Chain A
Amino acid sequence: MSDLSNDTIIEFENVSFSYNSDNNAKDNEVLHNINLSFKKGELVAVVGRNGSGKSTLAKLCNALYEPNNGRVIVNGIVSGTEKNDEEIRKHVGMVFQNPDNQIVATIVEDDVAFGPENLGIDPLEIRQRVDDALKKVGMYEYRLEQPFKLSGGQKQRVAIAGAIAMRTECIVFDEPTAMLDPLGRKEVLSAVRTLVDEYGITVILITHFMEEAAQADRVIVLNEGCVILDNTPEKVFSKSDLLNSIGLDIPQITKFCALLGLGNSVLTVDQAYDLLIPVLEKNS
């Protein structure tokens, strides 16, 4: 066991990664010397352009990839050996972008049971976990449906339930809403928020949507394999020039409020509304 303080769930220590490991040239590196720690119960968004290293970072979190240099430590377990990696994947689950690529069974509840079944868990316990997981994502009524009949947002929620049924403490989402319509996005995001707020699950959310990142507790900005910002969404999105220079947007509302001189850390419609209502009513 390591000496990490026990509120840390995942720790990156000087992590570098390259897809081309036989050729150790530095220019092939996708991530350079990353140091990060994720705290239990946090909702952390990771943003960055295509090719910035976001998905690689995600896959290092649950030992799908091994770092070339440095260490990834999950709950005190260092990734890199078969035994440790297997253990890490029980702690950290993943949900990918395309809902159709990660559903394996023909009935919703069978799909959710797939993970725990592979862990060799007692059938009665599995039953309980599946029901519980489906309730947490609001899909319990659909437990006997065929997955192909569900909408994209519903399928993603089934995939999330699959991760919860493994009793993972942390779920890494790799652009879970990229293929969904606005309604599906809302459903998945609110399921994610529930996981964090009500069940204390740690969530790492990789996204291209700045409005989604604005709802996180913390935002990490990656550019060309390096962490260039790591702070609250208010602080991160106040750096609009820096973000624009690396090809990222800031939320519309943040931009609007900055133009109006209402500060550069307003993130949501509701916050802007609360700021505007008193100043506007005085005038009428």
Chain B
Amino acid sequence: MNHFVELKDISYSYTQGSKNRVFAVKDVNFNLNKGEIVGIIGHTGSGKSTLISVFNGLLKPASGSVFVDGQDIFQDKKTLYNVKFKVGICFQYPEYQLFEETVFKDIAFGPKNMKLTSDEVKQRVISAARYCDISEEMLNKSPFELSGGEKRRVAVAGVMAMNPDILILDEPAAGLDPAGRTKLIGLIRDYNRTTGSAVIIVSHNMEEVCSLCERVVVVNKSKIVLDSALDDVFSHSEMLSSIGLDVPDVTKLFLKLKAAGVDLPTDVYTPEQAAEILKPLINRR
């Protein structure tokens, strides 16, 4: 069975052709199916952003191949152009990229470039606005009148309006307050469930990834070092913490207690789970 996206033995270097070539991504294999919701986590410089830029052909790997919907995306110019609509990427701090006079026009920019009729464009904008909880009143405002959290949602809506089969969001919640974060995460989850589009979230924040994703991919030093179901990720807590990922504080506590000889699992990441496990151990005096 073919996957919707297949990356085969991908390597990419920003210093192509120079003597001491450094690879940002090295020998990566990755598959993705429609409807999945995947978190990619790794610290700065691990290769996360390079990896997602390969997904829709923004970067051409030095070696390896990228198949989207059964086609090699680099086979010809037309395929390479069209893949941009199938795989929508929303980069970090996208609110700085808003440029139109009104929120409506900004969200319409993507679908317009897909040569849709103006009715279709309007439909797209309205449904994307709905997914991102953007009111009709807001659609007529200038993007510059909005708060940071609202701008962020407008930028995300702009990518959703292209109806991509895969929506990739790079640090979607960075810089938002806790309530804004929770709201955006909820909207993304609903979008995934309603449309069946695959969603990839790139993040530094383990708690965010855990609250949203079913599958977690860990990137370290240009390679995928873990690709597993959410429930399984924290059984690798020691490894995660050794490569400098910020595991949740309760996970840190359990690792520390375990190191002190207390027999505890380390795949714990919420305060509720953690309290549940420790309660019987404490009450037994």
Give A contacts to B, CB under 8 Å. Answer: 48-51, 97, 151-152, 175, 178-179, 181-184, 208, 210-211, 247-249, 251-253, 255-256, 259-260, 269, 272-273, 276-277, 279-284
Nearest-CB residue, chain B, relative to A270: B256
Shortest B227–chain A CB gap in Å is 21
Would A260 and B279 count as touching, CB distance under 8 A? yes
Would B147 and A252 count as touching, CB distance under 8 A? no
10 additional A-B residue pairs with CB within 8 Å, beyond A50-B148, A151-B44: A49-B177, A50-B147, A178-B175, A249-B178, A253-B253, A259-B271, A259-B272, A276-B257, A283-B281, A284-B262
Q: What residues on A are CB-neighbors of B244 within 8 Å?
A: 182-183
Give B contacts to A, CB under 8 Å. Answer: 43-45, 93, 147-149, 174-180, 204, 207, 244-246, 248-250, 252-253, 256-257, 260-263, 271-272, 274-275, 278-279, 281-282, 284-285
Would A175 and B262 count as touching, CB distance under 8 A? no
Would A181 and B262 count as touching, CB distance under 8 A? no
User: Once the chains are docked, how many angstroms separate the CA of A283 from the CA of B278?
Assistant: 12
Q: What residues on B are CB-neighbors of A182 within 8 Å?
A: 43, 204, 244-246
Q: What residues on A are CB-neighbors of B179 within 8 Å?
A: 49, 247-248
Shortest B187–chain A CB gap in Å is 16
Of A50, A247, A249, A251, chain B has the most CB atoms within 10 Å of the CB of A50
Question: Would you list 29 pairs from A and B whose C-beta atoms are within 8 A, ordered by A residue?
Answer: A49-B177, A49-B180, A50-B176, A51-B147, A151-B44, A151-B45, A175-B175, A179-B174, A182-B43, A182-B246, A248-B177, A248-B178, A252-B249, A252-B250, A253-B249, A253-B271, A256-B253, A256-B271, A256-B274, A260-B275, A269-B249, A272-B253, A273-B253, A273-B257, A276-B257, A276-B278, A280-B282, A282-B285, A284-B261
Interface Cβ pair total, 8 Å cutoff: 102
Shortest A177–chain B CB gap in Å is 10
Q: What residues on A are CB-neighbors of B278 within 8 Å?
A: 260, 276, 280
User: Once the chains are docked, how many angstroms separate the CA of A18 from the CA of B256?
Assistant: 49
Q: What residues on B are CB-neighbors of A49 within 8 Å?
A: 177-180
User: Once the chains are docked, how many angstroms separate the CA of A260 from the CA of B280?
Assistant: 10
| Shortest beta-carbon contacts, A-B, top 10 | A247-B179, A182-B246, A259-B275, A256-B271, A255-B271, A178-B175, A181-B44, A252-B249, A50-B177, A181-B204
- Say whether, besides A182-B43, A183-B244, A277 and B271 are in contact (CB < 8 Å): no
User: Once the chains are docked, how many angstroms separate the CA of A248 from the CA of B182?
Assistant: 11
User: Once the chains are docked, how many angstroms separate the CA of A279 from the CA of B257?
Assistant: 12
Of A208, A210, A282, chain B has the most CB atoms within 10 Å of the CB of A208
Contact of B281 among A248, A252, A280 (CB under 8 A): A280
Contact of B149 among A50, A251, A252 (CB under 8 A): A50
Q: What residues on B are CB-neighbors of A51 within 8 Å?
A: 147
- Say whether, besides A248-B178, A256-B275, A260-B275, A183 and B147 are in contact (CB < 8 Å): no
User: Once the chains are docked, how many angstroms separate the CA of A211 from the CA of B174?
Assistant: 16
Q: What residues on A are CB-neighbors of B44 within 8 Å?
A: 151-152, 181, 183-184
User: Once the chains are docked, how many angstroms separate the CA of A184 from the CA of B80?
Assistant: 36
Would A50 and B180 count as touching, CB distance under 8 A? yes
Shortest B218–chain A CB gap in Å is 14
Q: What residues on A are CB-neighbors of B43 within 8 Å?
A: 181-183
Shortest A170–chain B CB gap in Å is 24
Contact of A280 among B148, B250, B262 (CB under 8 A): B262
